Every structure is written in structure tokens, then in C-alpha cells.
Chains A and B, each alone.
Chain A
């Protein structure tokens, strides 16, 4: 392995190494503080390694991984969100369970899996990364052995992730049988435009279905709300942010090499999935009384919006999708921070009713929560708006460039956003409910620990910063993503 390859791979090595280090630490001390501290140090080191690796261009590391700036950008983003989630996990686990060691090991392994996904160039790496995330996550979802809902969530996630992997592998195996390769680049050149033989079509359709399961796109979203609801708050946060972002990064990577626009059937499948996700997510979210379930449906809809940018393709599409994710992740992180900080020992504060009267009792928290929710809804002055604007822009320019199908997609985006606004505002409305003194929900009276306050402040500021001054970030993202299209 050359020096350049080692530098490029260092972030992934550090993440995986942190998991090993944590295993060894467990032999010396079981202290929760030390374990969480080592995790944080490992993630910070991985972030530094990302900045070190950025100056060198795309570096293939074996046939499995290509570490380019896009991969590093996503790895950095995942590590940043990971640091926030580690702090949340620390707050959540303290007092709830005494077995904390394995949690952080699984957590860092899942993060390493995300980094592998973001840089994979081969179906074997794709499979490995996906399984690293999935296996760790269903163990994490069922981590609290005293919590039946968590175990049920773990079981459901196990079946869901198992099916996703199996479907994906079956598709990859069909493509291998047809083309004799599992490398994305080689497949991209081998698959002829408009290839219509059954093996190719079935293979690609199954790969898409597998990815659809992981992104909880519309027909594959059935158990997602249950998993979101039952898993502990920080784990739900992980599923909603890191695992989604990593799989989406892979989707962008895979299908910039297998050119989507040249395969009308493929394009039609993705467009249908996008529209179905937007409507299913927004409509089913309307009647939910549980915040985690609302977020599950919101993520179904948001993945639908993201697919529009992905379908538009080219540099503009990749930039729009990446910016959208950059704005989407801190908003979710902030919401899960609040949820974790205000949760009681016996159950998570995940009912909308838990937040009744928040605006009167805790105006600052209510303001931050409102900003984060409005960002998910895509209201101006928040990062979510700019993200949605760019997604719509790429959709419209693709439509003007001669693909009228995009009008339908942009139409779905607009209608979906309007419906979605209703359920986000329903939560905000609950903040203003008058509750008689002494009868407030227990959640809104709890103290927010300092660490949670810091994560909340930073993520809210990030959302506002991306909404008011998106220029710098957009330039940075386009610099990093352009490497692909040169």
C-alpha cells in the first residue's frame, strides 16, 4: 500500500481502529466516561484524517474502494454527526443501563460501515459496508434489554435489513452473471445504453429495491416507523441521519457510473419511487401522534425529494443532493438532541403531547425546536429551504432541457411540501398549548444537560447559517463534487 493510499484510507482505518481500541479499553476499565471519551477522540482523529486526505485527488485503494473528495466529504459529515450522536448516547445511557461498552463499539463500527459505503467502488464493499451498518444498528436498537419496544424494533430492523441485503445481493449476483464484474466503473461501461435483456433489468431492479429498503422509499417503508418509534432516541437518530446519508452517497456514486438517463426503464422506476415516497411520507405523517413516527414519515418524504436531485444527475444534481443532506442532517441531529435531553428514565419523550406548552415554559428551546422543524419543512431562512430550492431548481432545469417527466416530479415536490408543512406546524402548535400550572407534561420541565445544549445550539446555528449564507458551503461542495465530472 502506498503512502497516498494509506493517507486516503486513514479515516476509515481510524474509525475501525477506534472500535478495536474500545474493545481493549473494556479490559482495563468499564468507566462510561472513558469509553465515550475514547469514542470522541477516535471520531475527532478521523475528522482530522479527512482534512489531511482531502488535498490529494481520487485514490483507488484496492479494487473495492475509491477514496475521492466526495467520499471524504461524506465521511467527514458522518463523523461530525457521529460526534453529536456520541454525546447524545452518553447522556441517554447514563442512568439507564450499566453496560455501556458494547454500545460504543457497535456505534463506531456502524460509522466505519458508513464511511466504507460512501467510498465503495465495488459491490463487495457495498455489501460489507451495508452489513456493518445494519448488523450494528439492529443490535443497537435492541440494546436496552429491559425495554420491550426496543427489542421489537431490533427484531423488525433485523428482518427489514436482512431482506434489503438479500434482495440487493441477488441483484448484484444477476449482474455478475451477465457482465462478469462487480466493480461499479466496469459495470457502467459494460451495460449498454437502453440494455433490455432480462438479466440486466432484473439485476438493476433488485439492486434498486435493496437500496429502496435502506432509504425507506415508499413501497418499502412499512416497518420503518415502528423501528423509529421503538429504538432508543440516539439510535433512531443514527438510523435517520448517518445510515440514510451513507446509503444515499452510495446511490449517487453507483448511478453516476451506471448512467441512469440512458435507461428509460430504470429512470421510470426511480421516478415512481420518488413520487410515491413524497406522497406516502407526507400523507401518512399527517395523523401521527408520536414525534419519532412523524420523523420516520418525514424521512420517507425527504428521501423522495432527494431522489429528484439524484434523477436530474450531473454535477448540479450531485451538488443539490449533497447540500440538501448537509442541511438535513444537523436539523435532525438537533431534534434528536432535544428528544434525548427531555426524555425521562421510563420512556422517551416522543409523544407530541409531551411538548404541550413548551413555548411558555421554555421559550428558547421552543424557538430552537421550531427552527429545526421549519428547516425540515423547507421554510425560508433555514438550510432546508435552500436545499429544497436547489433540488427544485435542478428538477426544473432538467425539465426545460427536454425531460418533461421532471415537471411531475417538481409538482410532487411542491404539493408534498405543502402537505408536509401541516404536520410540522402541528407540532409547533402544540408548543403554544396552554396547560394549567402544575399539570405540564414532565418532559418540558426537565433540565437540558450542558452537552445537549451545546449540540443543540451548534446544530440550530448550522441550520440558520446554511439558510442565510449558503454561498460558502455551496462553493465548497461544488469544489469537492466536481472532481467526478471532470
Chain B
């Protein structure tokens, strides 16, 4: 079985992978997936905390469900915006969509 350190390391790697996707990938959908990956890393932390330290409490379960629900709402609105982005610019490449710079 995994140890708590192992689980926290995995969630840390997931989190960094999500952040890296966000920074390096130019595709808007990939950026959104990066955010989802980071959110799920947080979820893994909640579950790890429950399993190893606080098995008698239920807050972590509720928190995970809450995060999944809200992340779904966020993704729905996000994809709608990306769709509009594609309609207006003909691309979802974030590097090419730069009307504003300062």
C-alpha cells in the first residue's frame, strides 16, 4: 500500500504537471485540462488526509464532491468560452490570440 508521503508526492507531481501544462501548452483546451489536473491534485490531498490522519471524519468526502461539482460547472462555462473563441478567431491557440498587450 501507499504511504502518506507517497500519496502527497503523487498529488504534488499532478499539481506541478497541471501547472506545467498551463504554462507550456498553447492550446486553450489543454490549458483548461491543466486546471482540472491541479484541482484533482487537491482532491487527492483531501482523500489522502482523510485516509491516513482523520479516518473518522467525513469533511474530506464532502469537499471532494464539492470540488468535482464546481469544477464541472467551471469546465462547462470554460468550454463555452473556448467555443466562442474559436468562432471569433478561428483558432484556440492562446499564442495567436493577443489583441491586447501592454
Say whether, besides A139-B81, A145-B84, A131 and B38 are in contact (CB < 8 Å).
no
Is B70's CB within 8 Å of the partner chain A?
Answer: yes
Distance, CA A158 to CA B52, complexed state (A): 34
Q: Pick the contact of A166 from B38, B49, B77, B82 — CB < 8 Å? A: B38
Distance, CA A284 to CA B85, complexed state (A): 29
Task: Please report the total number of A residues contacting B with Cβ < 8 Å.
Answer: 43
In B43-81, the 8 Å CB interface with A consists of: 43, 45-46, 48-49, 52-54, 57, 59-60, 62-63, 66-67, 70, 73-74, 77-78, 80-81
A154-187 contact mask (Cβ, 8 Å, vs B): 1 or 0: 1100110011011101101110111011100000
Chain B residues positioned under 8 Å from A373 (CB to CB): none
Say whether, besides A151-B81, A170-B15, A176 and B70 are in contact (CB < 8 Å).
no
B interface SS class = helix
Say whether, besides A176-B63, A177-B8, A163 and B84 are in contact (CB < 8 Å).
no
Stretch of A75-83, A225-233, A360-368, A413-421 contacting B (4+ beta carbons < 8 Å): A225-233
Whether B102 lies near A163 (C-beta < 8 A) is: no
Q: How far is the CB of B94 from chain A (nearest CB, A)?
A: 7
Whether B53 lies near A226 (C-beta < 8 A) is: no
A103-142 contact mask (Cβ, 8 Å, vs B): 1 or 0: 0000000000000000000011001100100110011001
Q: Pick the contact of A128 from B35, B70, B87 — CB < 8 Å? A: B70
Whether B85 lies near A152 (C-beta < 8 A) is: yes
Is A478's CB within 8 Å of the partner chain B?
Answer: no
Q: How far is the CB of A151 from chain B (nearest CB, A)?
A: 5
Say whether, besides A170-B38, A177-B45, A180-B57, A163 and B22 are in contact (CB < 8 Å).
yes
Whether A180 lies near B39 (C-beta < 8 A) is: no
Is A290's CB within 8 Å of the partner chain B?
Answer: yes
Whether B46 lies near A131 (C-beta < 8 A) is: no
Distance, CA A167 to CA B38, complexed state (A): 8
Distance, CA A148 to CA B81, complexed state (A): 11
Q: Pick the contact of A163 from B11, B35, B52, B89 — CB < 8 Å? A: B35
Whether A148 lies near B88 (C-beta < 8 A) is: yes
Q: How far is the CB of A285 from chain B (nearest CB, A)?
A: 10
Is A45's CB within 8 Å of the partner chain B?
Answer: no
Chain B residues positioned under 8 Å from A174 (CB to CB): 45, 49
Distance, CA A142 to CA B39, complexed state (A): 23
Distance, CA A159 to CA B26, complexed state (A): 12
Whether B77 lies near A180 (C-beta < 8 A) is: no
Is A403's CB within 8 Å of the partner chain B?
Answer: no
Distance, CA A226 to CA B100, complexed state (A): 6
Chain A residues positioned under 8 Å from B52 (CB to CB): 177
Is A397's CB within 8 Å of the partner chain B?
Answer: no
Distance, CA A162 to CA B73, complexed state (A): 12
Distance, CA A155 to CA B92, complexed state (A): 10
Distance, CA A145 to CA B45, complexed state (A): 38
Whether A159 lies near B22 (C-beta < 8 A) is: yes
Of chain A, the residue at the smallest CB distance from B44 is A173
Whether B66 lies near A135 (C-beta < 8 A) is: no
Is B97's CB within 8 Å of the partner chain A?
Answer: yes
Distance, CA A261 to CA B30, complexed state (A): 41
Is B32's CB within 8 Å of the partner chain A?
Answer: yes
A219-238 contact mask (Cβ, 8 Å, vs B): 1 or 0: 00000011001100000000
Distance, CA A5 to CA B99, complexed state (A): 49
Chain A residues positioned under 8 Å from B97 (CB to CB): 152, 155
Is A288's CB within 8 Å of the partner chain B?
Answer: yes
Whether B81 lies near A127 (C-beta < 8 A) is: no
Chain A residues positioned under 8 Å from B39 (CB to CB): 162, 165-166, 169
Distance, CA A151 to CA B83, complexed state (A): 10
Chain A residues positioned under 8 Å from B87 (CB to CB): 145
Whether A152 lies near B99 (C-beta < 8 A) is: yes
Whether A151 lies near B88 (C-beta < 8 A) is: yes
Whether A142 lies near B81 (C-beta < 8 A) is: yes
Q: How far is the CB of B48 from chain A (nearest CB, A)?
A: 6
Chain B residues positioned under 8 Å from A139 (CB to CB): 77, 80-81
Is B17's CB within 8 Å of the partner chain A?
Answer: no
Chain B residues positioned under 8 Å from A153 (CB to CB): 100
Whether B99 lies near A173 (C-beta < 8 A) is: no
Is A293's CB within 8 Å of the partner chain B?
Answer: yes
Say whether, besides A155-B81, A169-B42, A180 and B53 are in contact (CB < 8 Å).
yes
Whether A176 lies near B31 (C-beta < 8 A) is: no
- Chain A residues with CB under 8 Å of chain B are 123-124, 127-128, 131, 134-135, 138-139, 142, 145, 148-149, 151-155, 158-159, 162-163, 165-167, 169-170, 172-174, 176-178, 180-182, 225-226, 229-230, 288, 290, 293
> Can you give 21 A-B contacts (C-beta < 8 A)?
A128-B66, A128-B70, A131-B73, A134-B74, A138-B77, A142-B84, A145-B84, A148-B89, A148-B99, A155-B97, A165-B74, A169-B39, A169-B67, A170-B38, A170-B41, A176-B49, A176-B54, A177-B4, A182-B63, A229-B102, A288-B102
